[in-house]
Amino acid sequence: MFKKALTASLAIGLTIGLAACGGDSEKTGTSTDSTPASVGKSVDYKIVGIDPGAGIMKATASAIEEYGLKDWTLIEGSGAAMTAALKKAYDKEKPIIITGWTPHWKFSAFDLKYLEDPKGVYGGEENIHSIARLGLKEDLPGVHTLLDQFHWTADDMGSVMVDINKGTKTEEAVAKWIEENPDKVAEWTEGVQEGDGEEVKLAYVAWDSEIASTNVVAKVLTDLGYKVKMSQVEAGPMWTGVADGSVDAHIAGWLPITHADYVEKYDGKFEDLGANLEGTKIGLVVPTYMDIDSIEDLKE
């Protein structure tokens, strides 16, 4: 029920968002050194992407199509390669266009902005869902309850991510967050049966957001007495693993839009435990020193 309500409010949000963004074309005609006309050339008509299984890659392929960006290429890579390229460009104030998402530490490390998306290709705000394999509730009820009750905010996730990016070891950043947020952890663990060394397999993709969330949940489960095995995989295998039962759960379902294909593909083969974080966003992101505001500006 909770899920339906969220989806409905999201749909309303999308409609309003689209209505508010219509017809933005006053940018034509400016001609400074960094006019929109030079943007494509300045970045070699490249958008720096991440791993090919990410939903944002598919959305960006659609954006290229829908905005008529014929000469443009989306470069495949990884989350880490993308942030490395961003840092390199940023340090020299060079232009760069990346596939970006929120929550992510890059917004606190650099001054960045989303390019407006008047066609709404990237959708509006969405949520991150916890996804369990069928039968987890019967086999590991404590784990199921914990995952069902796991819920935090973009700021919570952000603080873990920022710490890790600043060089704190992942385990330390996670332990610190858990120590500083006993009330939240108590809500997640309320009524949860402790483990006795039972193995729990969690899959995740090496997106900074999911590295943070999965490590936090893994640590809480470990502290409860479970033996957690985290496997880092691509987005496809993450969803497949839960659907075929080789993995117990993942907490990285960006819904309803970004991972819509996976949800459709494995419909009926997993249990959606609902949102664990609300208010995410994906899109094309550039440093604020770039003189463009909209994906439309890439066409010029």
> Under a CB-based contact definition with an 8 Å cutoff, are residues 195 and 227 in contact?
yes
List of E strands, the chain = 46-48, 73-75, 98-102, 112-114, 126-133, 199-204, 227-232, 249-255, 270-287
Sites for ligand PBE among residues 163-222 (CB under 6 A) = 207, 209-210
Q: How far is the CB of 72 from ligand PBE (least distance, A)?
A: 18
- Joined tokens for residue 83: 């942030």
Of the candidate residues 49, 55, 77, 123, the single one contacting ligand PBE (CB under 6 A): 55
Sites for ligand PBE among residues 59-118 (CB under 6 A) = 101
Q: How far is the CB of 208 from ligand PBE (least distance, A)?
A: 8
Q: How far is the CB of 31 from ligand PBE (least distance, A)?
A: 35
Distances (CA, A) of 49 to 21, 52, 228, 284, 285: 25, 8, 31, 9, 11
Determine, following the binding rule CB under 6 A, whether residue 282 of this chain makes contact with ligand PBE.
yes
Please, which residue, 72 or 207, has the CB nearer to ligand PBE? 207
Distance, CA of 158 to CA of 249 (rounded, Å): 22
DSSP letter at 127 equals E
Q: Specify the stretch interacting with ligand PBE by CB under 6 A; choose among 29-37, 48-56, 191-199, 219-227.
A: 48-56
Residue 63's CB is within 10 A of a number of other CB atoms, namely 24
Of the candidate residues 127, 130, 215, 258, the single one contacting ligand PBE (CB under 6 A): 258
Binding footprint of ligand PBE on the chain (CB under 6 A): 50, 54-56, 101, 207, 209-210, 235, 254, 258, 282
